[in-house]
A = this chain, B = another copy of it.
Amino acid sequence: MGLEEYRRSVSENKHASILKAGRKHFLANGYSGAAAAEIAREADVSTATLYKHFASKEELFAAVVRDAYREVEFPPLPEHSNLSDVIVAVLSNYLVLNFEREVTALLRIVIAEVPAAPQLALDLFDELITSRYQKMVDIVDQLILQGDFKPHDSQFGVRLLIGTIKENYIWPALFNSNATAPENADGFLRHVVTDYLRLYGK
């Protein structure tokens, strides 16, 4: 079975390299801007082969997106002494990763294909936005239990926290493909967190 295995490994390599090339092109040019022929060329594969691996451009796109967001992870909350510092650190990290991992570009193209691929968009929203958001809510709930926060509607509070940050950094980046991670976000983040604590902190 050595031959068969070899073949399978070659095929898997091609699969992976198509995904990689696809990701690059979709991120760079959007869905309709990315050309199947270009992706195939970049993956060092014929167009026909590309279509053997993925039944259509749409399917390749879905595969690329699912593959891409599997890679985006977020770190756990560090142990903390000063509550404010820790939250700022977490948010800062969240922000940096968002830019480094090309999350915004990924969001952009998924948003673009909402009418064509609605389920994909909903899945990604759950995975990348709601779930991350929920983690933050869980953290806050725990902090409330620990007595670090006043009892309050933690969902709402997190929305205020995250929403303000997104409004400032993510929303503009959605419209600007050259946007990079903000250099000095800490001042802003501290401001948000201060207000947040004024409202809900103990």
Contacts and interface: CB of A to CB of B under 8 A. Distances in A.
Interface of A: 28-33, 108-116, 118, 121-122, 124-125, 129, 153, 156, 159-160, 162-168, 171-172, 174-178, 188, 191-192, 195, 198-199
A33 B163 contact: no
B113 A30 contact: yes
Nearest to A157: B195
A153 B191 CA distance: 10
A114 B177 CA distance: 6
B30 A171 contact: no
B164 A112 contact: no
15 contacts: A30-B114, A30-B116, A32-B116, A33-B116, A108-B111, A108-B115, A111-B111, A111-B112, A114-B174, A121-B176, A159-B168, A163-B164, A164-B164, A166-B166, A166-B167
B192 A29 contact: no
A42 B191 CA distance: 51
Nearest to A191: B156
A176 B129 contact: no
